[in-house]
Amino acid sequence: MEPVSGRRQWRRVGLRALLAGVRARLRGRDLALIAAGLTFYAGIAVVPLLLVALSLTSALTSPDGVRALGERLVALFPGNLGAPAAVRELVAAGVALDRWGVLLALLPMSLYGEGVRRALLRFSRREEAFTAWRGRLTALPLLLLTPVTLYPLLLAADVMAGLAEQGGTAATIGRIALGFYSVLAGLTIPLAWVFRVVGAQRIGWPALLVGSLFTAACLSGFLQGFVLFLALPLDLGAPFGGVDVVGGIVAIGLWLFALHVVLICGWLATQALDAVLAQPRPDVLSRAAG
């Protein structure tokens, strides 16, 4: 029973060390302000990024196929806040984007890589020159992954739309589970690249895998919550004099802010986990000493 007890004790010690590591990395830093700054970069980059991803996906598959799958994706969004029309217009613009449009979109899109690197470096002692260009250039390779990530998500949306049409408890649970795990799978590799390359931190592979999966799961859950939020009968323009467009933009900004808080916390947890895993286990030391 001693080895089992020792493992349990190590897990408790490791969990406490993990939480302590996250708290230590947050000490003296304004998480909300850093996440808000990153949200600003995301507000500039998110639409160009989606447009380029749709354009590359349609070029590698077929424009008609992406349009058809985009319509199936539209069917998943509730219509009371205008989300279906916005998604439909985004898909149409992305499929119709030409090479010149892709080149023009690269500049605002690459700003997100700069924002991520600046934000994550705020939680380390690393100092470097040309942070903006390092962030932009290290994030650009993720473009090659966008068709590989987006097309399976569109196929999953097709299946989810079919489950929504089918109705029933089992179909609803299946639709939610498929949406959650498909987004989790699509985000894991990009997050691992962001944590290890864009974030300029040599994270060990075990911690990188666990941290990327954990953060991707949290982000996927928040995105599911955003779709649920869109279904609520809310008057988003009420706090802004009845101007619904302003209310919608503010709502999207708040959700992006929450997503980036989760992203940064996942990054800090991954760093702390890497530090915990680098520590020698007591049972290993005792056997080595014996």
Alpha carbons 49 and 27: distance in angstroms, whole number: 33
Does residue 267 have a pLDDT over 90? yes
Q: Which class for 232: exposed (0-12), middle (13-18), buried (19 or more C-beta within 10 A)?
A: exposed
Which pLDDT does position 280 carry in this prediction? 64
C-beta of residue 230 within 8 angstroms of C-beta of residue 78: yes
Cα dihedral 130, 131, 136, 137, rounded to 10, equals: 60
| 102-114: pLDDT as tens digits | 889 988 889 999 9
| Angle, helix 31-60 to helix 99-121, in steps of 10 degrees | 150
Q: Which residues contact 112 (CB under 8 A, 6 or more apart)?
A: 41, 42, 44, 45, 46, 49, 139
**Residue 80 · residue 233 · CB < 8 Å:** yes
pLDDT, one tens digit per residue, over 85-137 is 889 999 999 999 998 998 899 888 899 999 999 999 988 877 788 888 999 99
Average pLDDT of the residues of the chain: 86
Q: Are 277 and 132 in contact (CB under 8 A)?
A: no
Looking at the predicted structure, is the pLDDT value of residue 32 above 90?
Answer: yes
- Higher-confidence residue of 46 and 237: namely 46
pLDDT, tens digit, 9 for 90 and up, residues 210-261: 999 999 999 999 888 888 887 777 787 888 887 878 888 888 899 999 999 9
Round the CA-based radius of gyration of the chain to a whole number and report it: 21
Nearest alpha carbon to residue 132 among 120, 116, 114, 119: 114
C-alpha distances (whole Å) from 87 to each of 166, 180, 241, 254 are: 23, 19, 25, 19
* CA–CA separation, 135 and 21 (whole Å): 25
pLDDT for residue 11: 62
Note whether 233 and 23 are within 8 A (CB). no
Q: Are 215 and 270 in contact (CB under 8 A)?
A: yes
